[in-house]
Amino acid sequence: AMMQINIFKKLVRPHKSIPNPLSVISKINSILQLKKMSVNVSLDSYDREQVKLMEEMCILVDENDRRIGADSKKNCHLMANINKGLLHRAFSVFLFNSENKLLLQQRSDDKITFPGLWTNTCCSHPLNTPLELKEDDQIGVRRAAQRKLNHELGINYEQVPLDNFSFLTRIHYLAPSDGIWGEHEVDYVLIIRANVDLEVNENEVKAVEYLSLEDLRKRFNNPGEMCKELSDKELFGSNENSDFSESEPEFLDTSISNDTNSLFVEPPQSPFHRTTFQEIPGLVLYKQFLPQEQQDELVDGIIAANYFNTQESNQAMCFGDLPPFIIKV
């Protein structure tokens, strides 16, 4: 297990030639052709419940995830502020049941950011409160994940104990939603296995679905539905019997991965939110920013670590517009 952890710690870190995302934020304006906006964006046209949630106070951090203050959810998600470097802490939960199926949710059409898009089980933010500010063993983030699983999906706290969340890695990424709103966050990736009872909050979630690895592959193989297939190079082996989370992931990489690729992506045209499967060690590779030698090293490392049980074929998928990011499905 330790050998596998070391392999992935070595391989999933960005190549040293990749620039820090903050150094290239100025390029976003020309790519997205954003107009200069005031932070006083009107919320009158949005759902009242969602507007109220915009008053929550998020945790502001620097690029090393050091806490530097707090600001409203509204201010944290305005592209006018994101373009100036405003960065906050967040999390993404991937919940698998005992059949190794991943719970996905479709965001409600009432959501202000990324409405109607499919994403992983739960994506949200720890708040600037004493309980969720605590950083030892990511306990504040775990508490926030437990709170939001209950709020969005009605999952009882007892079904997702804090100790059952496994922390995988952190990602520094930026994703515009519609030119006004977007995300710029240090995102904690949490994995949990649990059989849960759902009571969906329709103001937050439009639909839910459990998908196996094979289901995901079929879904992603339909370019008209969820994604489009990469045809230029096949990078990862696929195995219909693979188990995403059979073993405890235990801190594969505690460093912060810079999702530099997201800094150059147009607002999403796909029905999938970009944070789905974002940068899980061993599953995702940003091909554009890796030299061929490191691509080969990563694939060899995954095989050597026996991350997947067998190698039946090589296949890689992406969703959203170019430049692609790649997921092993």
Q: Identify the active-site residue in 123, 204, 279, 318.
A: 123
Closest C-alpha among 309, 303, 302, 328 to residue 241:
309
**Length of the chain as a residue count:** 329
Phi then psi for 268, rounded to 5 degrees?
A: -65, 135
Residues 6+ apart with CB under 8 A from 153: 103, 105, 121, 122, 196, 198, 199, 200, 201, 205, 208
Active site residue 185: yes
Residues 6+ apart with CB under 8 A from 145: 91, 93, 122, 124, 160, 165, 190
The Cα 165–Cα 241 span in angstroms is 23
Stated as kind and residue range, the H or E segment containing 51 is helix 48-53
Q: Give yes or no for a cis peptide into 323 (omega within 30° of 0).
A: yes
Active site residue 318: no
Q: Identify the active-site residue in 185, 204, 227, 279.
A: 185
The Cα 267–Cα 116 span in angstroms is 14
Runs of H (alpha helix) within 169-265: 213-221
| Residue whose pair of structure tokens reads 């409203």 in the numeric block | 72
Instruction: Residue 224: count other Cβ atoms within 10 Å of its Cβ.
Output: 6
Residues 6+ apart with CB under 8 A from 90: 123, 124, 125, 126, 183, 185, 186, 187, 188
Active site (catalytic) residues:
123, 185
